[in-house]
Amino acid sequence: MPPSRSLTRRQIYRRRRIVVFGGIGLALASLVYLPLTLLAPLKPAVATVTAPVEDAPVVPALAFPGYGASAIGAVGYPGVLAQSGATTALPMASITKVITALVVLDAHPLAVGETGPTATMSSADAALYGTYLAQNGTVATVRAGMTFSERQLLELTLIKSANNYTTSMAIWAFGSQEAFLAAARSWLAENGLDGVVITEPTGIDRSNVAPVDQLVELGRIALAHPVVAEIVATRTTDVPPLGALPNTNQLLGLSGVDGIKTGTLDDFGANLLFSADYTIGASTVTVIGVVLGGPDHDVIDRDILTLLESTVANFTEVEVAADAETFASYEAAWGDTVAAVAGERATLLVWSDTPVTVEVVTEELRTGHAGDDVGDLVFTSGTSSVTVDLELAADLEDPGPWWRLTNPVALF
C-alpha cells in the first residue's frame, strides 16, 4: 500500500504559520513603506541656466578737441568715462570759483530759497576792483557800504565770475584769505581732490591747477549741492544795485547744457567745466565734462557741443530682459520640465561698448505654481545694474502617489 499523501497536522500548522506571519510582515512593511514614499519630501528639481549673451553696442568714437585736455564723466559713473590730452594738472582759471563757493557753503550752509547772512563791503573790498581790473580780470562795480547777501555773493562769483566779489566773499566767510586757503585745502583733501592746487580764491593766478579727471569729480560735487546746481544753471540774475548779470557760460540752454563754470587766462586759454542732461529711452543721464586750454570760448563752445553729441551717442538703452523671456529651466526627477522666466521687461543704460553680463540666481525648487518667485536676474554693465525677479512660467506639480510608490530610488 503506497504511503499516505495527507498532510500531517504539524505540516498544516507550519504552513498556516508561514501564511499568517508572512501577511503580518507584509502588512508591517506596508505600514512603513507607504508613509515613507507617500510623505517623503521630493528631491529638488535640477536648475539649468539658459541665459542669452548680450552683444556690446556699436558706438561712434568720441569727438574730443585736438588741443589742451578734456574729460567726460557722468553722474552715477565713478571716475571719468574717457579723457584726451594732458593728464597733468593744468590751470583752472575761474573754475577755481566753484571750489571757493563750495568751501564757503561748507562753512556757511545755505539752502535753496534762503539768502543767508549779509556782508557789508569795506574800503578794502572796494580796492579789490582796481586790483583785478589791472590784471585784466572780470570785475563788478563795488563801493564801500554796499551790502550783499551770501546768496548774492555766490551769484556774483558763479554767474558774473567777478574776481573782486569772489575774494570779498572768501574773506567775509573766513576772516582772511590765508584762513580761506587753509579751509580750501582741507576741503579738497576731504573730497579726495588731492591733485588740485589752490593758491588764491579766483583762479586768476595760473598756479591754481587741476587734472581734468579731478575736475569732473568737482563737477559731480557741485551738482550734488542744490544751491550751486541752481546758480550755475541760471542764465541771468539780478543783483541790486548792480542790475542784470548774464552768465559767462554761453552754452546754457543749448543741447541740454545746464552748467557749470567758465574760465579764461590770457596766457593759457579758455576753459569750461560743463554739465548737460539727456533722456535716453526711459533713462536719464547727467553728463559732466571739462575742456581746458582752448583757443577761445567760441571755439571750445562749438567743440563741446560736438563732444556732447558724440557722448550721448555712446549711451545706449539696452533691453536686457523681455517680459516672460526664459533664462533658466527646472527639470524634476519625474520628468516634468518648467521654464523660469523674467518677471518683467528690463532695460539698462550702457556706456560705449561696455559689456552686459547677467547673473542668474536660482532658488531650490520641488514644486511650485506659475508666477512663483524662484530667484533673481542681476544684469550689470560697468557700475550700473538692474535686478529682475525670476518666475516660474507654469506649475510644477507633485508627481502623485503612484509615481512615489513605484520610484522609491528617486525619493531616497
Of these residues, 70, 84, 161, 352, which one is catalytic? 161
- pLDDT value, residue 28: 42
Evaluated on CA atoms 138, 191, 85, 89, the torsion sign reads: positive
Nearest to 174 by CA among 126, 115, 104, 100: 104
How many C-alpha atoms does 373 have within 13 Å on its Cβ side? Answer: 7
Of these residues, 94, 275, 329, 381, which one is catalytic? 94
Of these residues, 97, 160, 168, 275, which one is catalytic? 97
Q: What gap in Å lies between CA 160 and CA 354, rounded to an integer?
A: 40
Quick one: pLDDT band at residue 20, thresholds 50, 70, 90?
Answer: very low
Topology classification of domain 46-56+319-411 = Peptidoglycan synthesis regulatory factor (PBP3), Domain 2 (2.60.410)
Please check the confidence at residue 327 and state whether its pLDDT lies above 80: yes
CB-CB contact of 375 with 410 (8 Å) = no
Q: Summarize the confidence of residues 250-255 as an average pLDDT.
A: 98
24 vs 145, higher pLDDT: 145
Nearest to 167 by CA among 74, 103, 89: 103
- 310 an active-site residue? no
- pLDDT value, residue 21: 46
Please check the confidence at residue 132 and state whether its pLDDT lies above 50: yes
- 255 an active-site residue? no
How many C-alpha atoms does 307 have within 13 Å on its Cβ side? Answer: 29
Q: What gap in Å lies between CA 138 and CA 144, rounded to an integer?
A: 19
| Helices 150-158, 163-174: crossing angle, 10 deg rounding | 140
Segment (H or E) for 321 = strand 315-321
- Among 48-57, 225-234, 271-280, 384-393, name the one with the lowest average pLDDT: 48-57
- pLDDT value, residue 206: 97
Task: Collect all residues with Cβ–Cβ distance below 8 Å to 197 and sequence separation of at least 6.
Answer: 89, 207, 208, 209, 210
Binding residues for substrate, by number, are 261
Which residue type occupies 95? I
Q: Which CATH architecture has domain 69-313?
A: 3-Layer(aba) Sandwich (3.40)
Q: Same CATH topology for 46-56+319-411 and 69-313? A: no
How wide is the angle at C-alpha 276 spanned by C-alphas 271 and 279, nearest 5°? 160
- 94 an active-site residue? yes
Domain boundaries, the chain: 1-39, 46-56+319-411, 69-313
Please check the confidence at residue 277 and state whether its pLDDT lies above 80: yes
Q: What gap in Å lies between CA 138 and CA 142, rounded to an integer?
A: 13
Q: What gap in Å lies between CA 227 and CA 149, rounded to an integer?
A: 14
Q: What gap in Å lies between CA 280 and CA 272, rounded to an integer?
A: 24
The secondary structure of residue 13, as a DSSP letter, is H
How many C-alpha atoms does 80 have within 13 Å on its Cβ side? Answer: 16
Quick one: pLDDT band at residue 39, thresholds 50, 70, 90?
Answer: very low
Q: Is 197 helix (H, G, I), strand (E, B) or coil?
A: strand
String of DSSP letters for 144-172:
TT-EEEHHHHHHHHHTS--HHHHHHHHHH
Binding residues, by number, are 261
Q: Summarize the confidence of residues 86-103 as an average pLDDT.
A: 98
Per-residue pLDDT tens digits for 161-206:
999 999 999 999 999 999 999 999 999 999 999 999 999 999 999 9
Nearest to 290 by CA among 85, 76, 77, 59: 85
- pLDDT value, residue 57: 74
User: Which residues partner with 357 through β-bridges?
Assistant: 380
Q: What gap in Å lies between CA 276 and CA 223, rounded to an integer?
A: 11
Chain centroid to CA 287: how far? 12
What percent of the chain clears pLDDT 70, i.e. is strictly above it? Answer: 86
What percent of the chain clears pLDDT 90, i.e. is strictly above it? Answer: 81
pTM (two decimals) = 0.85
- pLDDT value, residue 58: 80
Taking all residues of the chain, what is their mean pLDDT, rounded to a whole number?
91
Please check the confidence at residue 2 and state whether its pLDDT lies above 60: no
